[in-house]
Structure 1
Amino acid sequence: MSRISTRGFAVASATAVTAVGAVMGVAQGSVAQPNDAEATADDSILLADLPAGQQADVQTSAMTQQASVQAIAADTTARKSAEETARKQAAKDAVAKQQAAQDAADQAKADKEAKEAKDRAEAETKAATGSSVDAGTFTQQSSYTVGEVQAIARQIVPAGQFQCFSNIVDHESTWNYQAVNASSGAYGLVQAYPGSKMSSAGADWRTNPATQIKWGLNYMNDRYDSPCGAWDYWQANGSY
Protein backbone atom coordinates (compact mmCIF):
# COMPACT_ATOMS: atom_id res chain seq x y z
CA MET A 1 0.00 0.00 0.00
CA SER A 2 1.45 3.29 -1.01
CA ARG A 3 -0.47 5.97 0.86
CA ILE A 4 -1.57 4.24 4.09
CA SER A 5 -0.08 1.80 6.55
CA THR A 6 -1.56 -1.54 7.46
CA ARG A 7 -2.95 -0.03 10.66
CA GLY A 8 -4.28 2.84 8.65
CA PHE A 9 -6.12 0.44 6.37
CA ALA A 10 -7.68 -1.30 9.35
CA VAL A 11 -8.82 2.03 10.70
CA ALA A 12 -10.13 2.94 7.29
CA SER A 13 -12.06 -0.29 7.19
CA ALA A 14 -13.55 0.38 10.58
CA THR A 15 -14.36 3.92 9.51
CA ALA A 16 -15.98 2.62 6.37
CA VAL A 17 -18.10 0.16 8.35
CA THR A 18 -19.08 2.97 10.70
CA ALA A 19 -19.86 5.18 7.74
CA VAL A 20 -22.05 2.51 6.21
CA GLY A 21 -23.81 2.04 9.55
CA ALA A 22 -24.24 5.78 9.84
CA VAL A 23 -25.74 6.00 6.39
CA MET A 24 -28.11 3.16 7.21
CA GLY A 25 -28.90 4.77 10.55
CA VAL A 26 -29.77 8.04 8.85
CA ALA A 27 -31.97 6.13 6.43
CA GLN A 28 -33.73 4.59 9.41
CA GLY A 29 -34.06 7.85 11.29
CA SER A 30 -31.29 7.23 13.85
CA VAL A 31 -28.16 9.24 14.64
CA ALA A 32 -24.72 7.69 14.21
CA GLN A 33 -22.58 7.65 17.35
CA PRO A 34 -18.83 8.33 17.41
CA ASN A 35 -16.55 5.35 17.93
CA ASP A 36 -12.91 4.61 18.61
CA ALA A 37 -12.06 4.45 14.92
CA GLU A 38 -13.30 7.99 14.40
CA ALA A 39 -11.51 9.14 17.52
CA THR A 40 -8.12 8.11 16.10
CA ALA A 41 -6.66 11.41 15.01
CA ASP A 42 -3.26 10.60 13.57
CA ASP A 43 -3.79 7.43 11.54
CA SER A 44 -7.46 7.74 10.46
CA ILE A 45 -8.24 8.16 6.82
CA LEU A 46 -11.41 8.62 4.87
CA LEU A 47 -12.94 6.00 2.66
CA ALA A 48 -12.65 8.48 -0.16
CA ASP A 49 -8.87 8.49 0.27
CA LEU A 50 -8.67 4.82 -0.68
CA PRO A 51 -8.30 3.66 -4.26
CA ALA A 52 -11.57 2.63 -5.89
CA GLY A 53 -10.79 -1.10 -5.67
CA GLN A 54 -10.01 -0.89 -1.98
CA GLN A 55 -13.13 1.17 -1.40
CA ALA A 56 -15.19 -1.66 -2.93
CA ASP A 57 -13.39 -4.19 -0.75
CA VAL A 58 -14.09 -2.20 2.40
CA GLN A 59 -17.73 -1.71 1.46
CA THR A 60 -18.13 -5.40 0.60
CA SER A 61 -16.52 -6.40 3.90
CA ALA A 62 -18.84 -4.10 5.81
CA MET A 63 -21.95 -5.38 4.04
CA THR A 64 -20.84 -8.98 4.52
CA GLN A 65 -20.31 -8.37 8.22
CA GLN A 66 -23.71 -6.73 8.54
CA ALA A 67 -25.41 -9.57 6.64
CA SER A 68 -23.69 -12.12 8.89
CA VAL A 69 -24.90 -10.32 12.01
CA GLN A 70 -28.43 -10.16 10.61
CA ALA A 71 -28.33 -13.86 9.66
CA ILE A 72 -27.20 -14.80 13.17
CA ALA A 73 -29.95 -12.67 14.68
CA ALA A 74 -32.56 -14.20 12.36
CA ASP A 75 -31.33 -17.72 13.17
CA THR A 76 -31.49 -17.00 16.88
CA THR A 77 -35.02 -15.63 16.56
CA ALA A 78 -36.12 -18.65 14.49
CA ARG A 79 -34.58 -21.05 16.99
CA LYS A 80 -36.28 -19.32 19.92
CA SER A 81 -39.59 -19.35 18.04
CA ALA A 82 -39.22 -23.07 17.29
CA GLU A 83 -38.36 -23.81 20.92
CA GLU A 84 -41.35 -21.81 22.13
CA THR A 85 -43.66 -23.60 19.68
CA ALA A 86 -42.30 -26.98 20.80
CA ARG A 87 -42.74 -25.99 24.46
CA LYS A 88 -46.35 -24.93 23.91
CA GLN A 89 -47.12 -28.13 21.98
CA ALA A 90 -45.55 -30.26 24.71
CA ALA A 91 -47.68 -28.45 27.28
CA LYS A 92 -50.82 -29.05 25.19
CA ASP A 93 -49.94 -32.73 24.77
CA ALA A 94 -49.41 -33.09 28.51
CA VAL A 95 -52.78 -31.48 29.26
CA ALA A 96 -54.50 -33.69 26.66
CA LYS A 97 -52.88 -36.81 28.08
CA GLN A 98 -53.90 -35.86 31.59
CA GLN A 99 -57.47 -35.17 30.44
CA ALA A 100 -57.63 -38.52 28.63
CA ALA A 101 -56.48 -40.30 31.78
CA GLN A 102 -59.07 -38.45 33.84
CA ASP A 103 -61.81 -39.27 31.31
CA ALA A 104 -60.83 -42.95 31.41
CA ALA A 105 -60.91 -42.93 35.21
CA ASP A 106 -64.31 -41.21 35.22
CA GLN A 107 -65.68 -43.71 32.70
CA ALA A 108 -64.38 -46.65 34.73
CA LYS A 109 -65.99 -45.19 37.84
CA ALA A 110 -69.28 -44.61 35.99
CA ASP A 111 -69.24 -48.17 34.62
CA LYS A 112 -68.61 -49.57 38.08
CA GLU A 113 -71.43 -47.51 39.61
CA ALA A 114 -73.79 -48.53 36.80
CA LYS A 115 -72.98 -52.21 37.34
CA GLU A 116 -73.49 -51.88 41.08
CA ALA A 117 -76.82 -50.14 40.51
CA LYS A 118 -77.89 -52.85 38.07
CA ASP A 119 -76.91 -55.58 40.52
CA ARG A 120 -78.85 -53.87 43.28
CA ALA A 121 -81.91 -53.47 41.05
CA GLU A 122 -81.78 -57.12 40.04
CA ALA A 123 -81.43 -58.17 43.66
CA GLU A 124 -84.37 -55.99 44.66
CA THR A 125 -86.49 -57.32 41.80
CA LYS A 126 -85.63 -60.86 42.70
CA ALA A 127 -86.46 -60.18 46.32
CA ALA A 128 -89.78 -58.61 45.33
CA THR A 129 -90.89 -61.24 42.83
CA GLY A 130 -89.02 -64.37 43.77
CA SER A 131 -89.47 -66.69 46.68
CA SER A 132 -87.01 -67.81 49.28
CA VAL A 133 -89.31 -70.57 50.50
CA ASP A 134 -88.80 -74.03 49.02
CA ALA A 135 -91.95 -75.96 48.22
CA GLY A 136 -90.37 -78.99 49.81
CA THR A 137 -90.39 -77.34 53.23
CA PHE A 138 -94.15 -77.84 53.46
CA THR A 139 -95.38 -81.14 54.88
CA GLN A 140 -97.51 -82.75 52.25
CA GLN A 141 -101.10 -83.59 53.15
CA SER A 142 -103.58 -85.93 51.57
CA SER A 143 -105.84 -82.98 50.78
CA TYR A 144 -106.00 -79.20 51.21
CA THR A 145 -108.74 -76.69 51.76
CA VAL A 146 -108.80 -73.43 49.82
CA GLY A 147 -107.73 -71.57 52.97
CA GLU A 148 -104.76 -73.88 53.45
CA VAL A 149 -103.67 -73.49 49.83
CA GLN A 150 -103.91 -69.71 50.10
CA ALA A 151 -101.90 -69.77 53.33
CA ILE A 152 -99.16 -71.73 51.57
CA ALA A 153 -99.22 -69.26 48.67
CA ARG A 154 -98.79 -66.32 51.06
CA GLN A 155 -95.61 -67.93 52.35
CA ILE A 156 -94.19 -68.50 48.86
CA VAL A 157 -95.35 -65.46 46.89
CA PRO A 158 -93.87 -62.06 47.89
CA ALA A 159 -96.38 -59.90 49.71
CA GLY A 160 -96.31 -57.17 47.07
CA GLN A 161 -97.18 -59.69 44.36
CA PHE A 162 -99.64 -61.88 46.19
CA GLN A 163 -102.84 -60.06 45.17
CA CYS A 164 -101.93 -60.26 41.47
CA PHE A 165 -101.05 -63.93 41.84
CA SER A 166 -104.35 -64.52 43.68
CA ASN A 167 -106.35 -62.75 40.96
CA ILE A 168 -104.95 -65.09 38.31
CA VAL A 169 -105.52 -68.23 40.40
CA ASP A 170 -109.08 -67.08 41.15
CA HIS A 171 -109.82 -66.91 37.43
CA GLU A 172 -107.89 -70.01 36.42
CA SER A 173 -108.89 -72.55 39.07
CA THR A 174 -110.67 -70.84 42.00
CA TRP A 175 -107.79 -72.17 44.13
CA ASN A 176 -108.51 -75.80 43.30
CA TYR A 177 -105.10 -77.45 43.05
CA GLN A 178 -106.67 -80.45 41.28
CA ALA A 179 -108.67 -78.45 38.72
CA VAL A 180 -108.61 -79.87 35.17
CA ASN A 181 -109.68 -78.02 32.03
CA ALA A 182 -111.94 -80.41 30.16
CA SER A 183 -111.10 -78.89 26.79
CA SER A 184 -107.34 -78.45 26.96
CA GLY A 185 -106.28 -80.67 29.81
CA ALA A 186 -104.59 -77.77 31.62
CA TYR A 187 -104.06 -78.68 35.26
CA GLY A 188 -103.77 -77.24 38.74
CA LEU A 189 -103.96 -73.86 40.43
CA VAL A 190 -102.40 -71.92 37.57
CA GLN A 191 -103.70 -74.24 34.83
CA ALA A 192 -100.36 -75.33 33.44
CA TYR A 193 -100.56 -76.84 29.97
CA PRO A 194 -99.64 -79.56 29.88
CA GLY A 195 -99.71 -80.09 33.63
CA SER A 196 -96.56 -82.19 33.43
CA LYS A 197 -94.55 -79.01 32.90
CA MET A 198 -94.85 -78.44 36.64
CA SER A 199 -92.62 -81.48 37.22
CA SER A 200 -89.68 -79.06 36.90
CA ALA A 201 -90.69 -77.78 40.36
CA GLY A 202 -91.29 -81.20 41.85
CA ALA A 203 -92.41 -84.73 41.05
CA ASP A 204 -95.43 -84.27 43.31
CA TRP A 205 -96.96 -81.58 41.09
CA ARG A 206 -100.33 -83.39 40.84
CA THR A 207 -101.02 -83.44 44.57
CA ASN A 208 -98.90 -80.75 46.19
CA PRO A 209 -100.23 -77.18 45.89
CA ALA A 210 -96.89 -75.80 47.16
CA THR A 211 -95.14 -77.32 44.11
CA GLN A 212 -97.76 -75.82 41.80
CA ILE A 213 -97.46 -72.39 43.43
CA LYS A 214 -93.69 -72.48 43.16
CA TRP A 215 -93.86 -73.41 39.49
CA GLY A 216 -96.54 -70.81 38.74
CA LEU A 217 -94.54 -68.04 40.44
CA ASN A 218 -91.41 -68.93 38.48
CA TYR A 219 -93.40 -69.02 35.24
CA MET A 220 -94.91 -65.58 35.83
CA ASN A 221 -91.54 -64.11 36.75
CA ASP A 222 -89.78 -65.58 33.72
CA ARG A 223 -92.41 -64.68 31.16
CA TYR A 224 -93.97 -61.49 32.55
CA ASP A 225 -91.32 -60.30 35.05
CA SER A 226 -93.73 -60.74 37.96
CA PRO A 227 -97.21 -61.96 38.91
CA CYS A 228 -98.47 -58.38 38.50
CA GLY A 229 -97.02 -58.32 34.99
CA ALA A 230 -98.84 -61.57 34.29
CA TRP A 231 -102.08 -60.13 35.71
CA ASP A 232 -101.79 -57.06 33.49
CA TYR A 233 -101.43 -59.35 30.49
CA TRP A 234 -104.35 -61.50 31.66
CA GLN A 235 -106.65 -58.48 31.94
CA ALA A 236 -105.75 -57.37 28.43
CA ASN A 237 -106.04 -60.83 26.83
CA GLY A 238 -108.27 -62.96 29.03
CA SER A 239 -105.47 -65.47 29.62
CA TYR A 240 -101.73 -65.51 30.25
Structure 2
Amino acid sequence: MTARISVRGFAVASATAVTTVGAVVGVASGSDQGSSSNDVEATAAEATLLADIPADQQTQVQTASLNQQADTASNAAEAKAKRSAEEAARKQAAKDAAAKKEKAQKAAAKKKAEADAKKREKLETQAASRDSDRSDKGGGGGGDSDASFPSKSSYSTAEVQSMAKQIVGSGQYQCFSNIVDHESSWNYRATNASSGAYGLVQALPGSKMASAGADWRTNPATQIKWGLNYMNDRYGSPCGAWDFWQANNWY
Protein backbone atom coordinates (compact mmCIF):
# COMPACT_ATOMS: atom_id res chain seq x y z
CA MET A 1 0.00 0.00 0.00
CA THR A 2 1.31 3.47 -0.88
CA ALA A 3 2.29 5.50 2.18
CA ARG A 4 0.75 8.94 2.33
CA ILE A 5 1.67 12.07 4.24
CA SER A 6 -1.57 13.45 5.81
CA VAL A 7 -2.27 17.19 6.00
CA ARG A 8 -5.35 16.80 8.12
CA GLY A 9 -3.56 17.87 11.27
CA PHE A 10 -2.48 21.03 9.51
CA ALA A 11 -6.08 21.68 8.33
CA VAL A 12 -7.60 21.11 11.78
CA ALA A 13 -5.03 23.33 13.44
CA SER A 14 -5.72 26.01 10.89
CA ALA A 15 -9.46 25.74 11.42
CA THR A 16 -9.03 25.96 15.19
CA ALA A 17 -6.89 29.03 14.85
CA VAL A 18 -9.39 30.66 12.52
CA THR A 19 -12.26 29.80 14.90
CA THR A 20 -10.47 31.39 17.80
CA VAL A 21 -9.64 34.51 15.88
CA GLY A 22 -13.20 34.73 14.52
CA ALA A 23 -14.70 34.46 17.97
CA VAL A 24 -12.59 37.28 19.28
CA VAL A 25 -13.34 39.47 16.29
CA GLY A 26 -17.06 38.63 16.52
CA VAL A 27 -17.29 39.70 20.13
CA ALA A 28 -15.43 42.93 19.41
CA SER A 29 -17.53 43.85 16.37
CA GLY A 30 -20.81 42.38 17.49
CA SER A 31 -21.11 40.34 14.32
CA ASP A 32 -23.07 37.15 14.14
CA GLN A 33 -21.03 34.33 15.71
CA GLY A 34 -22.97 31.75 13.69
CA SER A 35 -21.77 33.32 10.46
CA SER A 36 -18.16 33.18 11.70
CA SER A 37 -18.50 29.56 12.58
CA ASN A 38 -19.74 28.81 9.08
CA ASP A 39 -16.71 30.56 7.56
CA VAL A 40 -14.36 28.56 9.75
CA GLU A 41 -16.02 25.33 8.83
CA ALA A 42 -15.82 26.21 5.15
CA THR A 43 -12.10 26.95 5.48
CA ALA A 44 -11.52 23.71 7.34
CA ALA A 45 -13.43 21.85 4.68
CA GLU A 46 -11.31 23.38 1.93
CA ALA A 47 -8.17 22.41 3.80
CA THR A 48 -9.53 18.89 4.26
CA LEU A 49 -10.14 18.69 0.51
CA LEU A 50 -6.35 18.96 -0.12
CA ALA A 51 -5.29 15.66 -1.51
CA ASP A 52 -2.95 13.59 0.53
CA ILE A 53 0.60 13.83 -1.02
CA PRO A 54 2.00 10.39 -2.00
CA ALA A 55 5.42 9.78 -0.44
CA ASP A 56 6.65 7.80 -3.47
CA GLN A 57 6.22 10.89 -5.64
CA GLN A 58 8.49 12.83 -3.36
CA THR A 59 11.03 9.98 -3.57
CA GLN A 60 10.85 10.03 -7.36
CA VAL A 61 11.54 13.76 -7.46
CA GLN A 62 14.49 13.39 -5.12
CA THR A 63 15.82 10.42 -7.08
CA ALA A 64 15.53 12.33 -10.37
CA SER A 65 17.44 15.26 -8.88
CA LEU A 66 20.21 12.99 -7.59
CA ASN A 67 20.44 11.21 -10.95
CA GLN A 68 20.76 14.54 -12.75
CA GLN A 69 23.53 15.65 -10.40
CA ALA A 70 25.32 12.33 -10.90
CA ASP A 71 25.00 12.63 -14.69
CA THR A 72 26.39 16.17 -14.59
CA ALA A 73 29.35 15.10 -12.46
CA SER A 74 29.99 12.08 -14.70
CA ASN A 75 29.91 14.22 -17.87
CA ALA A 76 32.31 16.73 -16.32
CA ALA A 77 34.70 13.91 -15.31
CA GLU A 78 34.56 12.39 -18.79
CA ALA A 79 35.24 15.77 -20.42
CA LYS A 80 38.21 16.34 -18.11
CA ALA A 81 39.59 12.88 -18.80
CA LYS A 82 39.19 13.44 -22.53
CA ARG A 83 41.07 16.76 -22.36
CA SER A 84 43.86 15.14 -20.35
CA ALA A 85 44.12 12.27 -22.84
CA GLU A 86 44.23 14.69 -25.80
CA GLU A 87 46.95 16.79 -24.13
CA ALA A 88 49.01 13.70 -23.34
CA ALA A 89 48.63 12.50 -26.93
CA ARG A 90 49.70 15.92 -28.25
CA LYS A 91 52.81 15.97 -26.06
CA GLN A 92 53.74 12.42 -27.04
CA ALA A 93 53.27 13.23 -30.73
CA ALA A 94 55.54 16.27 -30.40
CA LYS A 95 58.14 14.18 -28.57
CA ASP A 96 58.00 11.44 -31.22
CA ALA A 97 58.34 14.02 -34.02
CA ALA A 98 61.39 15.60 -32.37
CA ALA A 99 63.02 12.21 -31.85
CA LYS A 100 62.32 11.24 -35.46
CA LYS A 101 63.80 14.50 -36.73
CA GLU A 102 66.92 14.08 -34.60
CA LYS A 103 67.35 10.52 -35.80
CA ALA A 104 67.00 11.61 -39.43
CA GLN A 105 69.57 14.40 -38.93
CA LYS A 106 72.05 12.00 -37.36
CA ALA A 107 71.52 9.50 -40.15
CA ALA A 108 72.06 12.22 -42.78
CA ALA A 109 75.22 13.45 -41.04
CA LYS A 110 76.57 9.91 -40.80
CA LYS A 111 75.79 9.24 -44.45
CA LYS A 112 77.53 12.45 -45.52
CA ALA A 113 80.58 11.67 -43.38
CA GLU A 114 80.81 8.19 -44.88
CA ALA A 115 80.47 9.58 -48.41
CA ASP A 116 83.19 12.19 -47.73
CA ALA A 117 85.47 9.51 -46.29
CA LYS A 118 84.98 7.27 -49.32
CA LYS A 119 85.58 10.18 -51.66
CA ARG A 120 88.76 11.13 -49.86
CA GLU A 121 89.94 7.54 -49.76
CA LYS A 122 89.34 7.21 -53.48
CA LEU A 123 91.27 10.39 -54.25
CA GLU A 124 94.13 9.32 -52.02
CA THR A 125 94.24 5.91 -53.66
CA GLN A 126 94.37 7.54 -57.09
CA ALA A 127 97.11 9.89 -55.94
CA ALA A 128 99.09 7.02 -54.45
CA SER A 129 98.75 5.15 -57.71
CA ARG A 130 100.09 8.11 -59.65
CA ASP A 131 102.94 8.49 -57.19
CA SER A 132 103.78 4.82 -57.64
CA ASP A 133 103.74 5.18 -61.42
CA ARG A 134 106.07 8.15 -61.26
CA SER A 135 108.36 6.27 -58.91
CA ASP A 136 108.50 3.34 -61.29
CA LYS A 137 109.44 5.70 -64.10
CA GLY A 138 112.29 7.25 -62.15
CA GLY A 139 110.70 10.04 -60.14
CA GLY A 140 107.85 12.52 -60.36
CA GLY A 141 109.47 15.42 -62.13
CA GLY A 142 111.89 16.10 -59.26
CA GLY A 143 114.20 13.20 -58.68
CA ASP A 144 117.23 14.24 -56.65
CA SER A 145 117.57 17.69 -55.19
CA ASP A 146 117.95 20.49 -57.68
CA ALA A 147 121.59 21.47 -57.99
CA SER A 148 120.62 25.12 -57.60
CA PHE A 149 119.54 24.40 -54.03
CA PRO A 150 122.54 23.01 -52.21
CA SER A 151 121.83 20.82 -49.21
CA LYS A 152 122.08 22.49 -45.81
CA SER A 153 121.63 21.36 -42.24
CA SER A 154 118.77 23.81 -41.83
CA TYR A 155 116.75 26.37 -43.83
CA SER A 156 115.05 29.58 -42.79
CA THR A 157 111.45 30.28 -43.73
CA ALA A 158 112.58 32.95 -46.17
CA GLU A 159 114.92 30.47 -47.88
CA VAL A 160 112.18 27.86 -48.17
CA GLN A 161 109.75 30.41 -49.62
CA SER A 162 112.38 31.54 -52.11
CA MET A 163 112.80 27.92 -53.25
CA ALA A 164 109.04 27.60 -53.67
CA LYS A 165 108.81 30.74 -55.81
CA GLN A 166 111.47 29.40 -58.17
CA ILE A 167 110.06 25.86 -58.33
CA VAL A 168 106.36 26.68 -58.47
CA GLY A 169 106.49 29.86 -60.52
CA SER A 170 104.91 33.23 -59.85
CA GLY A 171 101.57 32.36 -61.47
CA GLN A 172 100.76 29.59 -58.96
CA TYR A 173 102.96 30.54 -56.04
CA GLN A 174 100.32 32.38 -54.00
CA CYS A 175 97.92 29.42 -54.11
CA PHE A 176 100.76 27.05 -53.21
CA SER A 177 101.79 29.38 -50.39
CA ASN A 178 98.23 29.52 -49.02
CA ILE A 179 98.12 25.75 -48.70
CA VAL A 180 101.55 25.53 -47.08
CA ASP A 181 100.58 28.31 -44.64
CA HIS A 182 97.64 26.22 -43.45
CA GLU A 183 99.31 22.83 -43.56
CA SER A 184 102.70 23.49 -41.94
CA SER A 185 103.32 27.24 -41.56
CA TRP A 186 106.39 26.67 -43.81
CA ASN A 187 107.97 24.22 -41.36
CA TYR A 188 109.57 21.56 -43.55
CA ARG A 189 109.99 19.29 -40.52
CA ALA A 190 106.36 19.64 -39.36
CA THR A 191 104.84 16.34 -38.21
CA ASN A 192 101.15 15.72 -37.48
CA ALA A 193 101.08 13.84 -34.20
CA SER A 194 97.73 12.23 -35.00
CA SER A 195 98.07 11.17 -38.63
CA GLY A 196 101.82 11.18 -39.18
CA ALA A 197 101.58 13.61 -42.12
CA TYR A 198 104.95 15.24 -42.72
CA GLY A 199 106.62 18.25 -44.27
CA LEU A 200 105.61 21.49 -45.92
CA VAL A 201 102.61 20.04 -47.71
CA GLN A 202 101.87 17.41 -45.03
CA ALA A 203 102.24 14.34 -47.23
CA LEU A 204 100.51 11.31 -45.78
CA PRO A 205 102.51 9.25 -45.27
CA GLY A 206 105.61 11.39 -45.57
CA SER A 207 107.43 8.57 -47.32
CA LYS A 208 105.40 9.36 -50.45
CA MET A 209 107.82 12.21 -51.07
CA ALA A 210 110.61 9.72 -51.65
CA SER A 211 109.41 9.68 -55.27
CA ALA A 212 110.83 13.21 -55.54
CA GLY A 213 114.06 12.53 -53.68
CA ALA A 214 115.63 10.39 -51.01
CA ASP A 215 116.29 13.48 -48.89
CA TRP A 216 112.58 14.29 -48.51
CA ARG A 217 112.84 14.44 -44.72
CA THR A 218 115.39 17.26 -44.64
CA ASN A 219 115.30 19.05 -48.00
CA PRO A 220 112.50 21.62 -48.53
CA ALA A 221 113.16 21.70 -52.28
CA THR A 222 112.36 17.98 -52.55
CA GLN A 223 109.14 18.49 -50.59
CA ILE A 224 108.14 21.46 -52.73
CA LYS A 225 108.69 19.53 -55.96
CA TRP A 226 106.68 16.61 -54.69
CA GLY A 227 103.90 18.90 -53.48
CA LEU A 228 103.74 20.73 -56.82
CA ASN A 229 103.51 17.43 -58.74
CA TYR A 230 100.81 16.20 -56.38
CA MET A 231 98.70 19.34 -56.82
CA ASN A 232 99.12 19.34 -60.60
CA ASP A 233 98.19 15.66 -60.93
CA ARG A 234 95.25 15.72 -58.56
CA TYR A 235 93.76 19.19 -59.05
CA GLY A 236 95.36 20.49 -62.22
CA SER A 237 97.37 23.17 -60.44
CA PRO A 238 98.14 24.61 -57.01
CA CYS A 239 95.25 27.04 -57.46
CA GLY A 240 92.93 24.13 -58.20
CA ALA A 241 94.19 22.48 -55.02
CA TRP A 242 93.61 25.71 -53.08
CA ASP A 243 90.01 25.95 -54.34
CA PHE A 244 89.39 22.43 -53.09
CA TRP A 245 91.10 23.16 -49.78
CA GLN A 246 88.88 26.18 -49.12
CA ALA A 247 85.77 24.08 -49.71
CA ASN A 248 86.88 21.08 -47.63
CA ASN A 249 89.72 22.22 -45.33
CA TRP A 250 91.90 19.48 -46.72
CA TYR A 251 93.29 18.57 -50.14
- TM-score, normalising length: structure 1: 0.44
Please tell me whether Structure 1 or Structure 2 has the larger radius of gyration of its CA atoms.
Answer: 2
Q: Which has the bigger relative contact order, CA under 8 A and spacing at least 6? A: 2
